[in-house]
Amino acid sequence: TAVVEHTFVVSQVKMNRACRDSLVTVVNGQVPGPAIDVTEGDSVVVHVVNKSPHGLTIHWHGVKQRLNCWADGVGMITQCPIQQGSNFTYRFSVVGQEGTLWWHAHVASLRATVHGALIIRPRSGRAGTLYPFPKPHKEIPIFIGEWWEVDLVELDRRMADGSFDDNPINATINGKLGDVYNCSGALEENYVLEVEQGKTYLLRIVNAALFSEFYLKVASHKFTLVAADANYVKPYTTDIISIAPGESVDAVVVADAPPGKYYMVALGMQPPLPDTQIPVSETRGVLQYSYNPSQGKDLPIGAPVMVPEMPDLHDPITSFYFYGNLTSAFPHPRKGHVSTPSSPCGEFDENVILVATMNNVSFKIPTTEPLLEAHYHGNMSNAATLHELPDRPPIVYNFTDQAIIDFGRKVAALESTSRITTTRRFQFNTTVDIVFQSTTLLQRDSNPMHLHGHDFFVIAQGLGNYNAEMDVEKYNLVDPPPSGLFVTDNPGVWFLHCHYGFHATMGMAVAFEVENGKTLDTTLPPPPADFPRCEHPGSSLAY
Nearer to ligand C2O, 176 or 497 (CB): 497
What is the rounded distance in angstroms from the CA atom of residue 493 to the CA atom of residue 82?
A: 19
- CA distances (Å), origin 252, targets 118, 120, 199, 275, 463: 18, 16, 10, 39, 30
What is the rounded distance in angstroms from the CA atom of residue 459 to the CA atom of residue 456?
A: 10
Contact with ligand C2O (CB under 6 A) among 497, 498, 507, 540: 497
Nearer to ligand C2O, 108 or 313 (CB): 108
The three state secondary structure string of 70-110 is HHCCCECCCECCECCCCEEEEEEECCCCCEEEEEEECCCCH
What is the rounded distance in angstroms from the CA atom of residue 493 to the CA atom of residue 372?
A: 5
Nearer to ligand C2O, 217 or 364 (CB): 364
Q: Which of the 8 DSSP states describes residue 30? A: B
> With the C-alpha atoms ordered 192, 198, 199, 204, is the resulting torsion angle positive or negative?
positive
Q: Which stretch binds ligand C2O (CB under 6 A): 5-13, 118-126, 366-374, 492-500?
A: 492-500
Nearer to ligand C2O, 64 or 452 (CB): 452
Nearer to ligand C2O, 109 or 290 (CB): 109
Of the candidates 38, 17, 53, the one whose C-alpha atom is nearest the C-alpha of residue 147 is 17
Q: Which stretch binds ligand C2O (CB under 6 A): 14-22, 144-152, 363-371, 491-499?
A: 491-499
Q: Which stretch binds ligand C2O (CB under 6 A): 159-167, 440-448, 471-479, 494-502?
A: 494-502
Least distance to ligand C2O, CB of residue 326, Å: 19
Contact with ligand C2O (CB under 6 A) among 6, 17, 54, 59: 59
Least distance to ligand C2O, CB of residue 307, Å: 32
Least distance to ligand C2O, CB of residue 518, Å: 29
DSSP string, 213-238: -EEEEETT--EEEEEETTEEEEEEEE
Least distance to ligand C2O, CB of residue 499, Å: 6
Partners of 17 in beta bridges = 20
Least distance to ligand C2O, CB of residue 60, Å: 9
> With the C-alpha atoms ordered 493, 323, 106, 3, is the resulting torsion angle positive or negative?
positive
Least distance to ligand C2O, CB of residue 538, Å: 22
Of the candidates 46, 43, 47, 84, the one whose C-alpha atom is nearest the C-alpha of residue 66 is 43
- CA distances (Å), origin 210, targets 172, 195, 438, 503: 12, 30, 19, 10
Contact call for residues 175 and 213 (beta carbons, < 8 A): no
Site string for ligand C2O, 222-251 (x = CB under 6 A): ------------------------x-----
- For position 495 contacting ligand C2O by CB under 6 A, the verdict is yes
Q: Which stretch binds ligand C2O (CB under 6 A): 381-389, 458-466, 493-501, 510-518?
A: 493-501
Q: Which stretch binds ligand C2O (CB under 6 A): 48-56, 160-168, 383-391, 495-503?
A: 495-503
Surface-to-core class of residue 392, CB atoms within 10 Å of its CB (0-12 exposed, 13-18 middle, 19+ buried) = middle
From the centroid of its chain, how far is CA 190?
A: 24
Nearer to ligand C2O, 263 or 363 (CB): 363
Least distance to ligand C2O, CB of residue 497, Å: 6
Nearer to ligand C2O, 155 or 313 (CB): 155
Site for ligand C2O in 301-340 (CB under 6 A): none
Catalogue the E-assigned strands of 148-219. Answer: 170-173, 192-195, 200-207, 214-218
Buried b (16+ CB within 10 A) or exposed e, 107-142: bbbbbbbbbbbbbbbbeeeeeebebbbeebeebbbb
Nearer to ligand C2O, 109 or 443 (CB): 109
- For position 90 contacting ligand C2O by CB under 6 A, the verdict is no
- For position 104 contacting ligand C2O by CB under 6 A, the verdict is yes
Least distance to ligand C2O, CB of residue 214, Å: 16
DSSP string, 342-357: B--EEEEEETTEEEEE
Nearer to ligand C2O, 69 or 254 (CB): 69
Contact call for residues 102 and 34 (beta carbons, < 8 A): no
Q: Residue 375, Cβ neighbours under 10 Å: how many?
A: 24
Nearer to ligand C2O, 248 or 281 (CB): 248
- For position 64 contacting ligand C2O by CB under 6 A, the verdict is no
What is the rounded distance in angstroms from the CA atom of residue 294 to the CA atom of residue 483?
A: 45
- For position 115 contacting ligand C2O by CB under 6 A, the verdict is no
Q: Which residue's beta carbon is nearest to the bound ligand C2O?
A: 61
- For position 285 contacting ligand C2O by CB under 6 A, the verdict is no
Contact with ligand C2O (CB under 6 A) among 6, 17, 54, 61: 61
Site for ligand C2O in 389-428 (CB under 6 A): none
Contact with ligand C2O (CB under 6 A) among 217, 424, 450, 503: 450
Buried b (16+ CB within 10 A) or exposed e, 464-498: ebbeeeeeeeeebbebbbbbbbbbbbbbbbbbbbb
What is the rounded distance in angstroms from the CA atom of residue 521 to the CA atom of residue 429?
A: 13
Nearer to ligand C2O, 59 or 334 (CB): 59
Residues in the interface with ligand C2O (CB under 6 A) total 11
Nearer to ligand C2O, 106 or 217 (CB): 106
End-to-end Cα separation, the chain, in angstroms = 34
Least distance to ligand C2O, CB of residue 267, Å: 22
Least distance to ligand C2O, CB of residue 509, Å: 8
Single-letter residue type at 300: P
Phi-psi region of 464 (alpha: psi -120 to 50; beta: other; left: phi over 0): left
- For position 106 contacting ligand C2O by CB under 6 A, the verdict is yes
Q: What residues make contact with ligand C2O under the rule CB under 6 A?
A: 59, 61, 74, 104, 106, 246, 450, 452, 495, 497, 499
